[in-house]
Structure 1
C-alpha cells in the first residue's frame, strides 16, 4: 500500500534529521495540492504510533477567491483542527506589483503569512510538503540561475520567530504523492496561480525528466550529491593557495 511506503520514508527522514520532539505543536502548510494533502495524511497517521506525542493543525492561506470547503471536511475527518486565512497575496503579486516573475515574491509572502499565523496559533513548528524531486530541482535551480550550490534544508530554525520548519517528505518521490492522491481520492484544490505550469521550476522539472531518461540514475546521483557533504569539493581559492 502506498501509505505504508510513505510512512516508512517519512519516518526515516524524521529520525535522520530529528524533526519532531515531545509536545511539539506542528502547523501543516495545507495548500490543497497533492503534496500538502499527502503530508497531512502522513503526519495524521504517523502521530498514531510516533514515540513522541505531538499536536497537529492545518493552515490554508487563501490568496483570494478559492473555495476550500473540501479541506474543512477532510481535516474534520482526520481530527486535525483547520484554519483558513484570507489573504490578498494574488492581488499584490499580479494586480499591484504586476510581477513578470511572480514566484519569488509570492513564496515570500506566503511563507511570512504561514509562519506568522502558526506562531499566533501556538505552534513551534511548521511542516511543509516539499518532496525529494523538489529538493533535486531546487539544487539544480540554485546552480543554473544563481550560480551557487544550495538547497532548502530538511529542518531549519528561524531565530527571529523562534519557529522550526520541517520537511518530512524529503525522501519521498513525487510519483508516490501522485499515486497516493489517485488511490485515496484526495480532494485536490486546483492551483489558482496564473503562472502555474509556466515557471522556471517547471522548465527544470522537464529538463530533469529528460536527463533521467537519457542517463538513467541521474536523479538518484543528484540526490546522493546533495547528501554527500563529506565529499563536497569546490574551488575555495584560500584553501587551494
Structure 2
C-alpha cells in the first residue's frame, strides 16, 4: 500500500463490479475512504464495501440509478455528508448499447444519453459543492470513442466521445480552483460483461498491440495515479489504457 491517498475521500459511480470495483479497491489500497454507487445489485456492492473495510478504510454503498439525475446528485452529496468530505470523483457508471443505429429504439438512446453523458455532468455539478483545491475529477471513457472496429457501436461511441469535451473544457474551467479533470479510455478489459474468454475475445484482443485484454487493476492503476498528488500538473488529458488498441 502506497497510502498516497491517505485521508482522502473518493466516490466511484458504478463501483460494485468490473472496472468500477477495481478502481474502488485500488483507491482504498492507496489510503482513501471510498463510496460507491450501484444500480440494483446490492449484494455485489456490499461485497466491495467489505473488501474495502478489510483494508482498514471506511466504505459506503449508495443505490443510485444513472437515469435519475436527482438520485445521482443526492448520492454525491450523501458521500460528503457521511464520510465528512469529498476529494475524488470517478465517473465510471455506464450502459453499453449495441446495435445498428436504425434499429435502436429511442428508449435505448435516451437511457444511454442519461447514464453516459448526463449523469457524469450531474455528478460533477454536485461534486463541485464539496471539492476544494487538489480535488480530482476522473471519468472513464472507452477505446470505442477513439476507434470503433465493429458496426453497431455508434450510440455508445457517441456517448463516450462526449466525455472528451466535458474533460477538456472542464479542466480549463476548474484550473483556477486547482481541481484537475482527466479522462481514462480503457481498452478491452476482462469483466463479467466482456470476459477475456468470451466468444469474440480472440478477435477483440487481436486489435490490441499487446494481443490481450486488460485486467480491471490495469485501468485502476492509471486512475489511482491521476488521483494522486503526483498527478497535480496533469489535467485535460485523455489517457488511453488500451494495450495499443488505438495505435
TMscore range, shorter length: 0.3 to 0.5
TM-score (norm 1): 0.44
Task: Specify which structure has the higher proportion of helix.
Answer: 1
Between 1 and 2, higher relative CO (CA 8 Å, sep ≥ 6) is seen in: 1
Structure number with bigger Rg: 1
